[in-house]
Structure 1
Amino acid sequence: MNPTTTFLSCDWGTTAFRLRLVERETLNVLAEESSKQGNAATAKAWQQAVQPPEQRVAFYLAIVRQHIQQLEAVAGTALAGVPVVILGMASSTIGMAELPYKALPFAVDGSDLLTQTIAPTADFPHPVLLISGVRSADDVMRGEEVQLVGCGFENTPEEQLFLHPGTHAKHVTVQNGQATTLKTYMTGELFALLSTQSILAASVEAGGTLTAGRHQQWFARGVLEGQQANLLHNAFMVRTNDLFSQNSKSENYFYLSGLLIGSECHELLAHRPARIVLAGEPVLVDLYGAALRVLGIAHKCPVTTKTAEEVTLNGQLAVLKQHLATLPTV
């Protein structure tokens, strides 16, 4: 495999690991491996191994190497020399090397993100580019900054918004080619807790799609009621909806989702950006897109949707190109 025409995209989060062999010119994924061996589990294994601190990077890269070997088997070719671009929690306290956060603002072309290069060795014959996260005075993100770079924001004085739904949704303001403000919303985590571990768990049931039956109607109702009343009170309506047989458990599931997403997006009504780039997993992008339409936001500013894979690979390649001249080679 030609190291100059491909790269290895590594997305290493707290609970999950994903590695892709990617063609640079087309961003086609030639092979892919994933596992639940996230940084939290790897950090625990590292502690149990009781090795010298200077062996930590090699310990983590040995895990990456195992996945690369599986990709080599799938691709039917050796991948020695192909650079590895790593984002996510691998640059955190539980990762292979803790890097400081880049303080806002940062350039949306990825040129000033904080990175660390790791030279190839006999045991790991790949140059590594490890990308750190970003912080504001009171907020942080790791991984989403690379996805923002992959969105291709215009350099314009108008305020644009990067909206990344997920466990911890991110809203990042972009202006004049710089990411300037960051807000995190615990929407996905709160939904998971309420729908599986609270008193509301018995009143909701996952299943179906947003457009099936009355799901869309109850989702829209949740989005709108999330604007008009107290979220802590409205959340209990999920329970009484079920007790009084006002809707089905699956409809309640979408109602709760609408309440939380609507609450998250409330500030956008008063401070509407000129453009929104909504990037993430397709199911979440569909829900957030529907919420923006229900609130009338999508009718007043363009909303562009992109997949998480698309912006991740675009962003990693953009940062890699910034460092090709100084990246160690085999």
Structure 2
Amino acid sequence: MNNLFLSCDWGTSSFRLRLIDAYGLKVLAEVSNAEGNASLFQKWKAAGADTDRRTDFYLSFLKENIDKISSEFGKSLDGLPIIISGMASSTVGMQELPYKELPFSLNGADLKVSHFQANADFSHPFTLVSGVCSQDDVIRGEEIQLVGCQPDKRIKEQVFIIPGTHSKHVFTVDDKAVGFSTYMTGELFSLLSSQSILATTVEKQGILTDDENTAAFKQGVLDSFKANLLHAMFWVRTNQLFNKFSKESNYYYLSGLLIGAELKELTGTEKAITLLSSGILSESYLLALETLGLAKQVSQKSVDEAIINGHYQLYMLHYQ
């Protein structure tokens, strides 16, 4: 059992726990659900919000899920260390930790962490990982993904794109992250496509690779360069009024418009670009980068693999 550890990626709205074999980083068992820190925080408040017992409240939930992993694996996991990253170290998490200020090393050695010893109530030592801040921006969770990427040391300057509700662009020099920017791309798309006047002009159907949807998406990317975004967003409405696109294709036009606005600052760069993503977001960002003429500079890595490898790096630093 000395080669096993638990990897916990605990976001605002999601929870994922994996049992990892450190030899080969094989996932032996896992559990995931929608019990993110935000919902658990509300449950803690409803239960009385005992500040002194806040960490214990979260650990009780964590223990329930460890028991599920143990049952799936068929053995007791008592004593195995846990690496916890994401929003668990935030204001809605089990214990708020201060941010690490930029820069930070991509081997994870200088990240801010808090170590907890096993006790009678919770039989696992665990390490809680904090986020990183600049003078006007923050990341929490993405720092582990960067550590897990193990960037090519032969490339001096790189850009890492991490799509999501709040997309991140992280800039690295040699073996350090030196800057990052947050883009509210995913959240804005959700609001515009469901709660704004544009909601009646778009419809989530089909897939990006359908010819008409692909063309609409690429047009959106290119149109993001033609006008101020606040003006360009209204074109989604006129697209429908003038029958330029179907509601389905207009949905992808809006997506392209917002992703294009996010990526426009990268046009003209000669830096290596790594897209850290999976699923439909990968398809969208790869197509946008291709549309902008950046495809030759882009490589892609799985975000899940990066999280597991990032947790492994901290496991080796703190428990081996």
- Decide which moves more: 227-236 or 83-92: 227-236
Residue type at the aligned position of 2:103: P
Corresponding residue number in structure 2 for 1:278: 275
- 2:254 aligned counterpart, secondary structure: helix
Tell me the CA shift for residue 297 of structure 1.
1.4
Tell me the CA shift for residue 86 of structure 1.
0.6
Corresponding residue number in structure 2 for 1:107: 105
Pair 1:311 & 2:309 matched = no
Pair 1:242 & 2:240 matched = yes
Could you tell me which of 115, 120, 123 is aligned with 2:121?
123
Deviations, residues 29-75 of structure 1 (Å, cap 9, x unaligned)? 22111122111111122222226422221111110000111111111
Structure 1: how far apart are the matches of 2:283 and 2:270?
A: 20
Deviations, residues 257-308 of structure 1 (Å, cap 9, x unaligned)? 10000000010014x1421110123211111111111000123x2x111121
Task: Give the alignment's TM-score, normalised by structure 1.
Answer: 0.94
Corresponding residue number in structure 2 for 1:63: 61
Structure 2: how far apart are the matches of 1:273 and 1:189?
A: 29
Structure 1 segment 42-191 matched on structure 2, within 5 A? 42-50=40-48, 52-156=50-154, 158-191=156-189
Structure 2: how far apart are the matches of 1:304 and 1:25?
A: 26
Identity percentage over the alignment? 48
Structure 2: how far apart are the matches of 1:156 and 1:122?
A: 47
Residue type at the aligned position of 2:283: D
5+ residue gaps in structure 1? 326-330
Tell me if the contact between 2:81 and 2:319 (Cα under 8 Å) persists in the aligned partners.
no
Structure 1: how far apart are the matches of 2:235 and 2:51?
A: 52
Corresponding residue number in structure 2 for 1:265: 263
Structure 1 segment 249-260 matched on structure 2, within 5 A? 249-260=247-258
Tell me if the contact between 1:13 and 1:38 (Cα under 8 Å) persists in the aligned partners.
yes
- Decide which moves more: 128-137 or 208-217: 208-217
5+ residue gaps in structure 2? none
Which aligned runs of 4 or more in structure 1 are off by greater than 6 angstroms? none
Tell me the CA shift for residue 16 of structure 1.
1.4
Deviations, residues 139-171 of structure 1 (Å, cap 9, x unaligned)? 001000100111111235631011100000000
- Matched pairs, number: 320
Structure 2: how far apart are the matches of 1:70 and 1:33?
A: 7
Structure 1: how far apart are the matches of 2:146 and 2:225?
A: 28
Corresponding residue number in structure 1 for 2:287: 290
Corresponding residue number in structure 2 for 1:328: none
Task: Give the alignment's TM-score, normalised by structure 2.
Answer: 0.96
